[in-house]
Structure 1
């Protein structure tokens, strides 16, 4: 891309915003060097990396690459075997530690098929943790090496401490004793790295030793007493040994780092690239930008685009199209109406997209790859334009026409302005026609009515205008494609108070054809406003209908929930009534069995009456509940035979026919262990298999024997029960199911905390006639169901 267009379209300001998002100096340098690309594959790769980084920021937060500092000289020194300073080694350690954090950020539990374009970057990072830990262990700070960096250094520093203590003890004894009266102050000081005492000038001969310094007044001499000269010499030798050992430590660390120069260099390259990529993603997040779709057909379609350098709260989004139905767009409208912003938005979006940056527009916005973008955009808002300005613009236009081709995008602001309107309009039409004939995508702004007519009368050329509200005298900044801009000079002047007489005189100066054209545009504008108003009303109606539909759906859902709740409660009540009736029947059977063949008929009759009373109570309850139920078609006596499965409607019980109806329709139905008298009118035939009815017979000893065989459901539902309630119900159900010769049954206990499932499965292990049990599979209820198989 030519440097001029980058400056004119303010691409450099976007790059400055991008640079501020980078967190390391090398990353900021990459941002500064970013220029638009022209290879579609490279552009798509850069856009993919930006999108993937943005996704990771949303998922895990931002990344910091601040420890990634320039290491060029350090690495070159390591390559030739030089020793690095402690500062340079700490810089390498900081990079490696930052590398470890970034690599940890990039770890993901996703499958390889779900990995993104940044996965390889993170995978190739080598934190070299042993090296960074060793550097941190040995070097505490730039000016401080740890005592434990080496055994020799630790020994030397211990000796230095002991020697220092000896010197201080010796000097303290002198300061507080023999030479106390000769001292200016009772302190110990150092000069040139050697311990001294401040002696008054008149007593310097009384303190034997070496003079190292004198005060500015000459009244004090700093003397190293002879008694500590040897110790000071020893301390100095230890300091030299310390520096030598530190040099050895730094050399060893440098050698260890030198063995990994390739890994360190690669780490820095990847960290710099990631910093650059995540800077692009952070900028996209700040701008609420999206990834544009690229094509190679030179089609541009921007949806709700916002110029990135304008205040997001004030900028009005625009929709722009170019290249599909037309390749030349002529934008007209008043000054300050936003025409120049439209041009700059399209041009800047193209540059940003080709640089791998997301654009602040709605998703599915389309951009195309242009090898060059040309722009002739200047300050055309002055009241007067000189000939030099026209010449400057024309020089730029001549250069553009010489270089532009079918792969170029050309942008012209106020084309042909700055000269005689007639000649300017003619030149503008000729220039646009030249570009149009060569299929060059072009956008131009103008005030000339001739260009509006040119756009209306030329194929693949379209008018557009920036909307202006005459009532408020303010531009709306909305771009309207397909509608030429209307000159609002007369309307604005009248609104501002210019007399009608002057306005009418001005209109007489205009060619009748121009007036007619302006009237047509005015009519079009009125029609557009009306259509726009109707469209908004339709949108409001759609929203209202959608709200009503949503409300109706909620009402239906509520009705369905209420219906399900009522059915559930009814089923629970019916189950409770049946359970009570069954318990009563079981109790009566136990009384009969206990009584034996010698029981009194009076007692048996009382038990029977009690059973009949309980059954009548249940019948009355079920009859009330069944009043509202629709009546089933009446059965005819010839339709029944013994063994048919029926349901007694008034009682809600299932059973089998044990006797044929008499002349009045009365018959007996066996319901489990109860033989109930009923009428054929109260029966409904059901299509389900029923196990044989129970039979009673006497044994040789005279006792009653009963085969407990009746209709049993293949499933029991224990949801909502406590463990004790569930186990009690399960025992009775399993007995019935086993006696009914069922091969297997389903126990529904739900998932929940798993306590009920565990208790049930532990209980099943203790039941002798249970052959095996297993957890339900997919489609059977999973962990919420246990399948039980009985022994044969």
Structure 2
């Protein structure tokens, strides 16, 4: 990709935002070096890595990369024999700790059967160097201080240091406490100069202490003197400090040698952790811009749903659907200036660059992009005074360069094509340039305000007009891209709104040709139709999603009902069998007692009567037919017809055939639910009589409206929310739902507390709990109904 194009489309600004999400300097370095790839497999891999990291963030919230530092130069210095400082060694230990934590983190996710591909491959390359990490941490604390426990020798030297220092302090404190000290000393304190203990003595009493003068105050009134009495003690202390430094250097040298021995493994760990950090940097940025993973193809097809410019604020940017490469390969966006054409152009170009760099794009799920070998853009006024180039000349320099390189694997973006010269000549030139890149097979999007190009999309296959919507009422653009509708200037409407006399406007309209008026009328009609169709499409999509959701909910409830029914049957059978077993044992005992009485008291109870009694008891015991588990059966060789009564084997439910939707699939009505079922999953029961079959199947009518399995209270006022909860619970009970979800959000917690109190005392509530991590956490309350 040309660096100029990355600058024009503001890819560098995207990288600036990306860098902010890096956990270490390693991640920042990779973000700074990020450029889009033109290799299809590279782009697919990069997108998979970002999506995998985003998945981990959704499930785990964060990652254990604390302690990671770029220690590559440190390790390389150790490998050539250099002695590392204590701070550098602690950084190495921190990086080893980060690698160990990250490896365990990934292994644990694999144990939890979270589907991952790229992270386990990186984690497998991380080498655990626990001994080196432990040795460094036992010798050096987190602040880089070499501990006494680093060696027996160092511990002895420091003990000697503390003893000598205590002697020096005791001697100086006795001097400070003397009767003459108050007049001879500037301050009754012990201080240090040149790493030796001294006293602040007034200039005139210098001779009273003797010794060595190490410093003086700025005024010269105070001298910092090492009294003669402690010179020898200070010398002993300095010798101990020299020994301490020698021992510390020895310890650091040994640890540096250990780092050098493990240097290759440490550098490998750093590279793996850098890749991981960069993966999660991209995932965090995707979360910020509400990005999604686009599907990547090699077919030149672009289909971005509700795409947004990533550098514009979320609450201000307008999302647009952008399609290119299927029915048409060239889009010509016409209309007046300041309407948002350039923003639409940059949104497309920047999203393509982001996708090819492995970044998720600010668009809805299901978006699709292609991989281009090159992206070319001529955007903005790049007039160069130094080169004495006009605006037109500057654009032409860019366009000439583009025409030298563009091919069928290129995306070409032209902003205000042909501007800066005579309108008639500019329009003709623009058409010729568009024809050239179109014939080469490139994907092209061009903006222009020339009316001559409105007809361009109608005269050439594979080319379509587009415009950016303008609200005449507010006299401002809506920035909504309308593909298939050419732009119009709206000059008459704007002038009228601003107060221009209608007489003048009518005279101006009379100056226009009939063809121009017809085109404007056609464009206005197209805009109206487009808005209406879009509104209807959105409504239809909403209904489809609700129907699909209801279908899934009903399927789930049927399965749960069957499972609960079978469980209750089995429980009842076990309970009854236990009771009968107890009764049988008691009957046996009674018979034994009767026999005993007959023997002892010669009672007239005959043996065959006892046997008959026992037989009657056994016959009285009922036999249970076990609930049959759903089994796959061979399909009955029966020709099905609409109206037949059948059994759906997988659901163990009866229904009626409505219509055959394919060679091996039927639409089946089961109660209030219609669903598609494979013919192999159907068991024939019976066929209605002819006169009954002739009648249409009666529609099963339910409630006037569907009761959703969840209630969303976010944004509601406190009192209204509680009223909605009460009504919703009544509707859910009438609908027979076993449990529902109430979404109240986290916020300040007031609404959540109020809902919890209401549910606690509600007559229909059996139990409540907060949602799990995958259900919305504490922002959702799950309610079990009686």
User: Shift in Å at residue 104 of structure 1?
Assistant: 2.8
Pair 1:125 & 2:126 matched: yes
User: Shift in Å at residue 542 of structure 1?
Assistant: 6.4
Within-5 A mapping of 1:183-198: 183-184=184-185, 187-197=189-199
Q: Partner residue of 1:230?
A: 232
Give, in whole Å, the separation in 1 of the partners of 2:421 and 2:476: 28
**Matched-pair contact (CA < 8 Å) for 1:376–1:393:** yes
User: Shift in Å at residue 89 of structure 1?
Assistant: 1.7
**Matched-pair contact (CA < 8 Å) for 2:302–2:325:** yes
User: Shift in Å at residue 165 of structure 1?
Assistant: 2.7
**Matched-pair contact (CA < 8 Å) for 2:293–2:361:** yes
User: Shift in Å at residue 567 of structure 1?
Assistant: 11
Within-5 A mapping of 1:409-420: 409-420=411-422
Q: Partner residue of 1:739?
A: none
Q: Partner residue of 2:82?
A: 82
Give, in whole Å, the separation in 1 of the partners of 2:177 and 2:472: 98
Pair 1:94 & 2:132 matched: no
Give, in whole Å, the separation in 1 of the partners of 2:553 and 2:97: 57
**Matched-pair contact (CA < 8 Å) for 1:300–1:323:** yes
Give, in whole Å, the separation in 2 of the partners of 1:217 and 1:90: 44
Q: Does the C-alpha gap of structure 1 residues 18 and 531 become closer, same or farther in structure 2, counting only changes over 3 Å?
A: closer
**Matched-pair contact (CA < 8 Å) for 1:334–1:468:** no
User: Shift in Å at residue 179 of structure 1?
Assistant: 6.9
Within-5 A mapping of 1:382-421: 388-421=390-423
**Matched-pair contact (CA < 8 Å) for 1:416–1:427:** yes
Q: Partner residue of 2:10?
A: 10
Q: Counterpart of 2:78 in 1: which secondary structure?
A: helix
User: Shift in Å at residue 378 of structure 1?
Assistant: 1.1
**Matched-pair contact (CA < 8 Å) for 2:64–2:105:** no
Pair 1:481 & 2:390 matched: no
Q: Which has the larger displacement, 149-158 or 707-716?
A: 707-716
Give, in whole Å, the separation in 2 of the partners of 1:41 and 1:250: 47
Give unpaired runs (5+ residues) of structure 2: 383-387, 627-786
User: Shift in Å at residue 540 of structure 1?
Assistant: 7.4
**Matched-pair contact (CA < 8 Å) for 1:409–1:441:** yes
Q: Partner residue of 2:523?
A: 521
Q: Partner residue of 1:369?
A: 371
Within-5 A mapping of 1:347-496: 347-378=349-380, 388-496=390-498
Give, in whole Å, the separation in 2 of the partners of 1:252 and 1:219: 49
User: Shift in Å at residue 466 of structure 1?
Assistant: 2.2
User: Shift in Å at residue 449 of structure 1?
Assistant: 3.0
Q: Does the C-alpha gap of structure 1 residues 340 and 139 become closer, same or farther in structure 2, counting only changes over 3 Å?
A: same
Q: Counterpart of 1:393 in 2: which secondary structure?
A: helix
Q: Which has the larger displacement, 96-105 or 301-310?
A: 96-105
Q: Does the C-alpha gap of structure 1 residues 550 and 438 become closer, same or farther in structure 2, counting only changes over 3 Å?
A: closer
User: Shift in Å at residue 52 of structure 1?
Assistant: 0.8
Q: Does the C-alpha gap of structure 1 residues 600 and 473 become closer, same or farther in structure 2, counting only changes over 3 Å?
A: farther
Q: Partner residue of 2:499?
A: 497
Give, in whole Å, the separation in 2 of the partners of 1:573 and 1:209: 103
Within-5 A mapping of 1:502-651: 502-532=504-534, 535=537
**Matched-pair contact (CA < 8 Å) for 1:593–1:704:** no
**Matched-pair contact (CA < 8 Å) for 2:197–2:226:** yes
Give, in whole Å, the separation in 1 of the partners of 2:106 and 2:586: 69
Give, in whole Å, the separation in 1 of the partners of 2:331 and 2:25: 43
Q: Which has the larger displacement, 561-570 or 173-182?
A: 561-570
Q: Deviations over 1:208-254 (max 9, x none)?
A: 64555566666665554444333222222111111111111111111
Q: Does the C-alpha gap of structure 1 residues 169 and 498 become closer, same or farther in structure 2, counting only changes over 3 Å?
A: closer
Q: Does the C-alpha gap of structure 1 residues 241 and 494 become closer, same or farther in structure 2, counting only changes over 3 Å?
A: same
Q: Partner residue of 1:138?
A: 139
Give, in whole Å, the separation in 2 of the partners of 1:565 and 1:473: 67
Q: Counterpart of 2:369 in 1: which secondary structure?
A: strand
Pair 1:697 & 2:697 matched: no
User: Shift in Å at residue 95 of structure 1?
Assistant: 1.8
Q: Partner residue of 1:243?
A: 245
User: Shift in Å at residue 14 of structure 1?
Assistant: 0.6
Q: Partner residue of 1:710?
A: 619
User: Shift in Å at residue 391 of structure 1?
Assistant: 2.2
Q: Partner residue of 2:148?
A: 147
User: Shift in Å at residue 5 of structure 1?
Assistant: 1.1
Q: Does the C-alpha gap of structure 1 residues 23 and 187 become closer, same or farther in structure 2, counting only changes over 3 Å?
A: closer
Q: Partner residue of 1:34?
A: 34
Q: Deviations over 1:570-615 (max 9, x none)?
A: 99999999999999999998998788699999x99xxxxxxxxxxx
Q: Partner residue of 2:640?
A: none
Give, in whole Å, the separation in 2 of the partners of 1:238 and 1:583: 94
Q: Counterpart of 2:469 in 1: which secondary structure?
A: strand
**TM-score normalised over the length of structure 1:** 0.68
User: Shift in Å at residue 715 of structure 1?
Assistant: 6.1
User: Shift in Å at residue 460 of structure 1?
Assistant: 1.2
**Matched-pair contact (CA < 8 Å) for 2:300–2:325:** yes
Give, in whole Å, the separation in 2 of the partners of 1:560 and 1:50: 41
User: Shift in Å at residue 514 of structure 1?
Assistant: 2.4
Pair 1:50 & 2:61 matched: no
Aligned residues: 618
Q: Does the C-alpha gap of structure 1 residues 150 and 582 become closer, same or farther in structure 2, counting only changes over 3 Å?
A: closer
Select which of 304, 319, 322 maps to 1:320: 322
Cα RMSD (Å): 4.3
Give, in whole Å, the separation in 1 of the partners of 2:402 and 2:347: 20
Q: Partner residue of 2:303?
A: 301
Give, in whole Å, the separation in 1 of the partners of 2:218 and 2:545: 92
Give, in whole Å, the separation in 2 of the partners of 1:516 and 1:466: 20
Q: Deviations over 1:350-399 (max 9, x none)?
A: 1011111111112221111111111111159xxxxx99222222222222
Q: Counterpart of 2:6 in 1: which secondary structure?
A: helix
Q: Deviations over 1:322-365 (max 9, x none)?
A: 11111111122343332222211111111011111111112221
Q: Does the C-alpha gap of structure 1 residues 266 and 509 become closer, same or farther in structure 2, counting only changes over 3 Å?
A: same
Q: Partner residue of 1:160?
A: 161
Give, in whole Å, the separation in 2 of the partners of 1:80 and 1:552: 70
- Larger radius of gyration, structure 1 or 2? 1
Q: Counterpart of 1:68 in 2: which secondary structure?
A: coil
Q: Does the C-alpha gap of structure 1 residues 416 and 535 become closer, same or farther in structure 2, counting only changes over 3 Å?
A: same
**Matched-pair contact (CA < 8 Å) for 1:47–1:357:** yes
Give, in whole Å, the separation in 2 of the partners of 1:398 and 1:513: 34
User: Shift in Å at residue 436 of structure 1?
Assistant: 1.4
Q: Does the C-alpha gap of structure 1 residues 258 and 297 become closer, same or farther in structure 2, counting only changes over 3 Å?
A: same
Q: Does the C-alpha gap of structure 1 residues 552 and 211 become closer, same or farther in structure 2, counting only changes over 3 Å?
A: closer
User: Shift in Å at residue 427 of structure 1?
Assistant: 1.2
**Matched-pair contact (CA < 8 Å) for 1:376–1:411:** yes
Q: Which has the larger displacement, 226-235 or 576-585?
A: 576-585
